[in-house]
Amino acid sequence: MTDRDRARAWPAPAKLNLMLRVVGRRPDGYHELQTVFQFIDHSDWLWFDVREDGAVRRLDAIAGVAEDDDLTVRAARALQRATGCRLGADIRCEKHLPMGGGLGGGSSDAATTLVALNQLWGTGLDEEALSAIALPLGADVPVFVRGRAAWGEGVGERLEPVELPEPWYLVLVPPCSVATRDVFCHPELTRDSRPITLADFLSGDVTNDCLPVVRREYPEVESALDWLSAWGGGRLTGTGACVFAVFDDEARALEAFSRSPARMQGFVARGLNRSPVLGRLIQG
Ligand SMILES: C[C@@](CO)(OP(=O)(O)O)[C@H](O)COP(=O)(O)OP(=O)(O)OC[C@H]1O[C@@H](n2ccc(N)nc2=O)[C@H](O)[C@@H]1O
Ligand SMILES: Nc1ncnc2c1ncn2[C@@H]1O[C@H](COP(=O)(O)OP(=O)(O)O)[C@@H](O)[C@H]1O
């Protein structure tokens, strides 16, 4: 990335679900969750050039995702519809976050597009209005728009900001992709967990109800979890496939990563209670 590119780039950070409970199911089939979201400093990067002709175009292809289905393109068009804005955009996206990894990369790309174009187009929507446009794009998009680590309920749209420790995480990316829908359709998924409180989570209840199903269906996830057990235990983010372990300092996380088997992809990243998108927004 050149210096000029870096100055104009917008981050789309990953999230981790530090716990995830499935506490019910709505009549439309969506599952009621309890979860805790925290951002990490590992991101996709996006660039926007405003167009006067109203067209929204994606300049970098993403394997397996057609332009009209791309969440950045859908987000830009949703913002146009909601505001009547006649401007368009050329959108570039440098992907670093794996797809189907439970890191929310597509959702984060969509949220960054909403926040950035709201500024670049001068459409002036507040956080509340942007979040309302975000939810139909995906259950995870609102938390990225709001940009604060959060306790989430419902399908992730009821969000309460939380201040958490910001440790270092070793995130392993097993060589498989998990479709969120497949996990939620699985007959053996626990769907009636007892709801807990934030205090329960803070005292150590970090259950992820998707884990037993994902562990069984995806041997690659199981072996990553087994390997992390030597480092204090691995946890699944969202519906996977990524798993993570928590460290007090970066050096120890890097040491663990350096000892991981060669076939294991991954990275070390810091937990963040504020999304870097908020900082980019202030910068203009
Ligand atoms: C589970 C979570 C936890 O953060 O993360 P991921 O593992 O996908 O990152 C999210 O709630 C995912 O959010 P997101 O990835 O935006 O999901 P969506 O596109 O809205 O939904 C994909 C599909 O999963 C199912 N789904 C999703 C969310 C939910 N609460 N109940 C569901 O049953 C639905 O069948 C839906 O069609
Ligand atoms: N810009 C995008 N980046 C990633 N995935 C996208 C994008 N646009 C649409 N998608 C679709 O969204 C799906 C979920 O992607 P992603 O949010 O990265 O994973 P997850 O929900 O597991 O964290 C992808 O498999 C892909 O089909």
ipTM of the complex in this document:
0.95
The CA-based angle 98-100-101, given to 5 degrees, is: 60
The finding on whether 156 has its CB within 6 A of some atom of ligand 2 is no
Per-residue pLDDT, 4: 66
Compute the CA torsion angle 266, 20, 153, 108 (nearest 10 deg).
10
CB 143 within 8 A of CB 157: no
φ/ψ of 2, rounded to 5, equals -75, 165
The finding on whether 138 has its CB within 6 A of some atom of ligand 1 is yes
User: Cis bond leading into 241, ω under 30°?
Assistant: yes
Between the CA of residue 76 and those of 56, 62, 85, 86, 91, what are the distances in Å? 7, 17, 10, 11, 9
Q: Which CATH class is domain 3-162?
A: alpha beta
The annotation status of 108 as a binding-site residue, yes or no, is: yes
Alpha-carbon distance of 23 to 32, in angstroms, equals 6
15 catalytic residue (yes or no): yes
- Assigned CATH topology for domain 168-272: Alpha-Beta Plaits (3.30.70)
Per-residue pLDDT of the chain (284 residues; tens, 9 = 90+): 776 687 899 999 999 999 999 999 999 999 999 999 999 999 999 999 999 999 999 999 999 999 999 999 999 999 999 999 999 999 999 999 999 899 999 999 999 999 999 999 999 999 999 999 999 999 999 999 999 999 999 998 899 999 999 999 999 999 999 999 999 999 999 999 999 999 999 999 999 999 999 999 999 999 999 999 999 899 999 999 999 999 999 999 999 999 998 778 999 999 999 999 998 887 76
Continuous segment of H or E residues that includes residue 271: strand 265-272
CB 71 within 8 A of CB 109: yes
CB 227 within 8 A of CB 260: yes
Residue 261 per-residue DSSP state: -
Catalytic residue among 44, 70, 109, 140: 140
Pairing of strands 88-94, 56-58: parallel
Q: Find the 102 Cα to ligand 2 centroid distance in Å.
A: 9
pLDDT tens, residue by residue, 65-98: 999 999 999 999 999 999 999 999 999 999 999 9
CB 55 within 8 A of CB 29: no
Residue 65 per-residue DSSP state: B
How many beta carbons lie within 10 A of that of residue 251, not counting itself? 11
The finding on whether 35 has its CB within 6 A of some atom of ligand 1 is yes
The finding on whether 144 has its CB within 6 A of some atom of ligand 1 is no
Catalytic residue among 15, 70, 109, 209: 15
In the chain, list all ranges with CATH 3.30.230.10.
3-162
Tokens found for residue 200? 């329960």
Residue 261, amino acid: P
Helix boundaries (H) for the chain:
3-8, 71-83, 105-120, 127-134, 141-146, 180-185, 198-202, 211-217, 219-228, 250-258, 276-283
pTM attached to this predicted model: 0.96
Alpha-carbon distance of 273 to 147, in angstroms, equals 8
226 catalytic residue (yes or no): no
In the chain, list all ranges with CATH 3.30.70.890.
168-272
Tokens found for residue 48? 């926007």
